[in-house]
Amino acid sequence: MTVPNTPAEPDPLSTAPDELTSEPRAGTVLTRLRAELRIALPIGFGCLLLGLLMGALWYWLAPEVPLVVQGNSVLYVDPEGEQSAGAVGTFVLLGIAFGLVTALVAFLLTRRRGGGIAMAVALGLGGVGGSLIAVWLGEKLGPTSNIIGHAKQVGEGHTFYENLTLPAHGALLAWPIAAMVLLLALTATFGKREEHPEPQWVGPLPPADDGSGNPWAPQPSEPPAEGDQAPSHTESGR
């Protein structure tokens, strides 16, 4: 005989679903990491290739610093000129432009599937590497760094140009900083949003069993403590 009010099966709402308590598996993490690396590696390699283009543009756009040979000395034609500062400024502007372009392209290519932290790391490291390649190529394309030998070749009273160099090493960070700022802004504004799971309602737990076999039976009230007396419903006569 079945005890009245006894549930035949446990309440499905009395226990939380397994999805709320399960932890991510190592295989899922590795799969996601591989997917992010497949996106990040081409972006980093593309930044390195763009460093060659940046170096060529830097050599083409940077102002030249003219020098003149007078006796045994090599002097600046314009001692108060700002050509050297202009070369650094040109490199910084090119770095900012390349950083913005690479961040925008990387975001558009990975907007739907998401690049994750690997894409940001690839943009940062690729920006630094591309800037180093640009400096190397610009110096190679520019005049020789052997100023004394070059002065002897041109001779007395002739003008030649100083080698292209980047004395301010902080300019190397213009590319990665610009890329990170734009990537953060685009991700915060137009990035892929994580889908929140639907709320799960967990029902009340059944009451404890009192030993009678019926978990839904009312629980006995606790006896009054010693010293407490039950209130009397009758008044004593006077």
* pLDDT, tens digit, 9 for 90 and up, residues 133-166: 999 999 999 887 777 776 777 777 667 778 888 9
* % of the chain beyond a pLDDT of 70: 63
Q: What is the pLDDT of residue 74?
A: 72
CA distance 146 to 163: 8
At 238, the pLDDT band (50, 70, 90 cuts) reads: very low
Query: Residue 30 and residue 80: Cα distance in Å, rounded?
Result: 59
Mean pLDDT of 79-94: 85
In the block, tokens 């432009």 appear at 97
| Higher-confidence position of 26 and 233 | 26
Q: Where are the beta strands (DSSP E) in 20-65?
A: none
The pLDDT of residue 1 is above 50? no
Q: How many CA atoms lie within 13 A of 198 on its CB side?
A: 4
Strands 66-70 and 73-76: antiparallel
18, 199, 234 from 196: Cα distances, Å: 16, 9, 63
108-140 residue pLDDT tens: 888 776 667 888 899 999 999 999 999 999 999
Write phi, then psi, for 68 (nearest 5 degrees): -135, 145
pTM exceeds 0.85 for this model: no
d(CA 43, CA 116): 13
Cβ distance 215 to 4 under 8 Å? no
pLDDT in tens, 27-64: 676 777 777 778 888 889 999 999 999 999 999 999 88
